[in-house]
Structure 1
Amino acid sequence: MDNNADLKDFLRTRRARLTPRAAGIGDALPGRRVPGLRREEIAALAGVSVDYYVRLEQGRNLNPSTTVLAAIARALQLDDTERAHLFDLAKARRGRVAVPRPQRVRPGMHQMLETLDDAASPAFVLGRRMDLLAANRMARALICDFNLLPAAQRNKVRFMFLDPRARELYVQWDKVAAETVAVLRVEAGRHPGDPRLAALVEELSMRSEEFRRWWSDHQVLVRTSGTKLYRHPVVGELTVDFQALQLPEDPDQTLFVYTARSGSPSHQALRLLASWDAAPLVAPEGRRS
């Protein structure tokens, strides 16, 4: 990953999606060739010189101030996640970024995950790069028994794109996979010096055309809640709601908890899955434990 390239591509893709009408500068004239706004139009909206903005978008060695970045974010009509990502990308160019240390899940969190098993609630903790740091029995039964994988391969993005079972498991695989890439983009902005993240992106780009296409779109996403549709080989189709909670003492770790509406068919399916301890857990690539 190239920090300069990421910044200029992010600015270019955000500019390309913004129409003159949406920017409040009138309708596009006939014969306009440029998709979205021109660089000089963004510069005028942000109140910076055209030369300055052109050099910034071309990835030249600039250190934009917070005020300038905020003005460009407003001109590009970035949402909160995109604005934070822009600041992360700009910050990454200002100096050497320390390589993140290995992550550990606290004993109390492991106990919480086991408690959620009793409530038939799949739960797991994701760390940097969307590494799967810990998962309760319900999560391993619903999604994948990551414990059977080598530690270096316990990663949600790798499972999504490199394990064929993921396409069968997620009813809306295209949507979930694209969102997963957008979440990983945020991770890349926050941790630009992470060699394992760079290796993951390189591997997925080589092995998956879909990942490569979505990665080049530079979409970013932070998930706090939502709904997932599964097609499980044992309990059939079920719909679960999830909450994503960033851990205050471990800001690079996020706890995901899945639930289903009480009394619903999906809730009954989770209960059935919880009682399924005599059957094997579904493992990666069709193996079983």
Structure 2
Amino acid sequence: MKAIIFNDKDNSDRSLNRLNKKRSFDDKRFWKIGLFHGYIFDKVKGLLVNQCSSIELVKTLIYTGEYNPRAINNVKKSCGLKIKEMNELIKKENLLLTKVNSIIGHDELKKEVLEHVNSVKNIFESLKNRYVDAISKQGKNSDGQKAFFSYVRENLLFTELRTTPLVTRDGIIQQKGVDAKFATDLILLAQSNAFDVAILLSGDADLKESIKLIRERYGKLVVVVAYRSPRPEDHIENTISDDLLKECDYFFNLYDFSENEIFKISDKKIPKKELLTNNPPHPSYVDQVYPTGAALVTNRKY
């Protein structure tokens, strides 16, 4: 039997963040993506040991939006306009403060007005700082993604990056077309009999119909890896929908991942100086500047 790992990086990153949040480690963990994929596959092999004599991982596909100059420039332009707007509003508040301070008498009223104006001014200052940080953040994220892509291409055999250009909406960078590419690949590869087992690092509800199709029409097994809390009040933390859970053959719940298993395929945060001075970069470099991966447990759902 042949298997392919389909890694929706945005979804699996959110699963990892949930797991880090749940575990509350003293040192935040960063995932070694090669070991992570290998560990998942070993778990799937153990799961299917009674169904097939052998199973081979033929390919790993990683899906994500890719930074590009147009998207980054659009963010800079949008945030630049917002910063200009905040500066104008802050200027008006400063003028108002000057006028209020020049008033003689009415001390109690003046005090209340000054407190209110300063409060409004602080809000504008905070918003301005957020826009300034957003510009800086996109540059760092872009550099981190380039390092991650290089690491994957140079170190992970039979692993392919499947990307679509990131776009901007209202000054916010967003993915577009990643889910469609993921679903299309899943169906076309099933149709061409490129795999018998699909290992999906995604719990996106949009995949429901694609999964149903490859199982019913092409007889493929589908294993989904995602984070699902057993506590109803934590449902917002889940990275798999109820509908998708019903469609897959097997479900590995990251929620139950043990500390020992986590430590096998992750590393603690490396000091920034060490990250940048290593040549080639420390294996965790790409994880820290552009977090990767998630985790897997042995819990079988169906």
Shared fold, TM over 0.5: no
The structure with the greater share of residues assigned to helix is 2
Structure with the higher strand share, 1 or 2: 2
Select the structure with the greater relative contact order (CA < 8 A; seq sep ≥ 6): 2
TM-score w.r.t. length of structure 1: 0.25
What is the TM-score with the length of structure 2 in the denominator?
A: 0.24
